[in-house]
Amino acid sequence: MKEPLTYKQQELLGAIRSYFKSHEQSPTLKEMGDLVGGKSLRTVAQYLDILERKGYIFRRKHAKRNIELVEEKPQGINSSFVSVPVAASVGCDDLSVFVNENHDEFLEVDQKLVEGKEPVVAVRAVGNSMNDADIENGDYVLVQVTDVAESGDRVVAIVGDMVTVKRLEKKDGFMILRPESKDPSYKPIILNDDFKIAGKVICTVPGDSMDITRVEPLVKNY
């Protein structure tokens, strides 16, 4: 059972519900302040913290209108979208980018993109050695977390304590991570025992699309 609300907390929750019904989206902080009598942004933010802690709302990251009502399906929020954590940046030029396990960023993607491939994380590409595979510097790459991959798969590989995305090639007993770029300065990496496959690439989300809050299947699939 959810914790009870004070009158002022209930007032804000009721205002958010009414706004959803009228506008099919959540109000901004300023709009919420106006709805409850001109409260300051700081006061509204404090009330939202309480509503989220008590389980009445959920706030999505990196969106201006980011509130979902927990106790009912909010108007205008499509439940077919799922949040995918951004787990790391991956070096597409070399192995100079360290793995980062802190999930303080999320993408919202169409559930159809990841269905049957769970668990799924996103990584952000650094460098251009995979640009012929449509993975550009700054793009987000959706990755199925698995240590199983076949020759020809695009993979995220951890070498020592660093991570990279490349095309996997198994040849003559060797494991090779090959770049996909016409730039001759990018060289294949011949793997020794100090590595592991961390995942397979599902698709890429162009970095310049991150000004929107959701990503639908208009992405590059493999």
Considering 26, 39, 166, 200, which one is annotated as catalytic?
166
Is 79 one of the catalytic residues?
no
Neighbouring residues of 171: CB distance < 8 A, sequence distance ≥ 6: 151
Is 166 one of the catalytic residues?
yes
- Specify whether the CB–CB gap between 109 and 205 falls below 8 A: yes
Q: What gap in Å lies between CA 105 and CA 126, rounded to an integer?
A: 16
Considering 39, 129, 181, 200, which one is annotated as catalytic?
129
Helix/strand/coil (H/E/C) assignment for every residue in the chain: CCCCCCHHHHHHHHHHHHHHHHHCCCCCHHHHHHHCCCCCHHHHHHHHHHHHHCCCEEECCCCCCCEEECCCCCCCCCCCEEEEEEEEEEECCCCCCECCCCCCCEEEEEHHHHCCCCCEEEEEEECCCCHHHCCCCCCEEEEEECCCCCCCCEEEEEECCEEEEEEEEEECCEEEEECCCCCCCCCCEECCCCEEEEEEEEEEECHHHCCCCCECCCCEEC
Residues designated catalytic: 129, 166
